Homo-oligomer: A and B are copies of this chain.
């Protein structure tokens, strides 16, 4: 009576439907200090591509022929934990791509009662929002009047990162891959300027025009040629938080101009990070993000795909630029 989606082969290049398999499985039996939950929203995120290959990284690779794991918002169906009641909504970062699953109480967080969609705890108020928060505010440190460029700006992380820079008084330029996305960024999120990298005849020229005073912070979600162009315009003491390199996740080799010379001549900093580097500050940051959201300073948008069986398709869609904002899959209805 349960279903899960497994990784059955490791993608080379772009993932395909054949890398995944949907299989019947039992509903696991509940142990002490655990809860049995029904999955409502399951997150698909670009970083998962890295876990699909077998290499040394900050988290171990996904095992073959087991359910893929990630962020899940779920509802408690049955409980052997004092901390949760039947009907509670929880978030687990160690969830599985399963319709029903058991979760250890220490791996579940009860969702606070805020007037936002529950799926937002997988995005604006969850991992992507926190990724934007720490990368932009701790590494990027935008100041009043500075110029900030965000790539992947219409993605879950990018749209939060750009708005945080706006809140700090910076001029924000967003790079995205469709006119629908750039229009959204300008009209709904009030980015100062946007660039559609897919239709611009010359991204470097357009960046130069958009950033007449150079670039002070480049929040890099994509890597590749877009980043090469932005980095060629950085100012003295620029900061480049490296959040993702989606352009290279599906490539076996990725070559480009070496950046060391530019970083030296401008005394600039480039820093990779993952959100768990900041685990001790999650609670405070989540409160701050929720506060910005409740006061209207931070807006958000999701692309919600419906259907448990659509998980592989939604994941693959991330690399085709199909989503505005956070891509999330609604896999079940609350009871």
Interfacial residues, chain A to chain B (CB-CB below 8 A): 50, 56-58, 220, 223-224, 227, 236-237, 242-245, 248-249, 253-274, 277
Contact = CB atoms under 8 A, between A and B. Distances in A.
A272 B265 contact: yes
Contacts of A272: 260, 262-269
A215 to B, nearest CB: 13
Q: Which of A236, A255, A267 has the most CB of B within 10 A?
A: A267
A127 to B, nearest CB: 15
A46 to B, nearest CB: 11
B258 A224 contact: yes
Given A257-B255, A258-B255, A273 B277 contact: no
B260 A248 contact: yes
A261 B242 CA distance: 8
B274 A271 contact: no
Q: Provide the main secondary structure of the chain A interface.
A: mixed
A252 to B, nearest CB: 11
23 contacts: A58-B236, A223-B260, A244-B264, A245-B261, A248-B261, A254-B258, A255-B255, A256-B256, A259-B259, A260-B270, A262-B272, A264-B272, A265-B272, A266-B272, A267-B271, A267-B272, A267-B274, A267-B277, A268-B271, A269-B269, A269-B270, A270-B270, A270-B271
A224 B267 CA distance: 19
B271 A258 contact: no
Contacts of A255: 255-258
| In the complex, the 9 A-B pairs of residues with the closest C-beta atoms, listed nearest first | A263-B272, A264-B272, A269-B271, A223-B260, A254-B258, A245-B260, A57-B265, A270-B270, A256-B258
A285 B149 CA distance: 36
Contacts of A269: 269-272
Given A227-B260, A259-B259, 6 more contacts: A243-B264, A254-B261, A262-B272, A264-B274, A268-B272, A269-B270
A254 B261 CA distance: 9
A248 B242 contact: no
A242 B257 CA distance: 16
Contacts of A260: 220, 223, 227, 242, 245, 248, 270, 272
Contacts of A261: 223, 245, 248-249, 254
Nearest to A50: B265
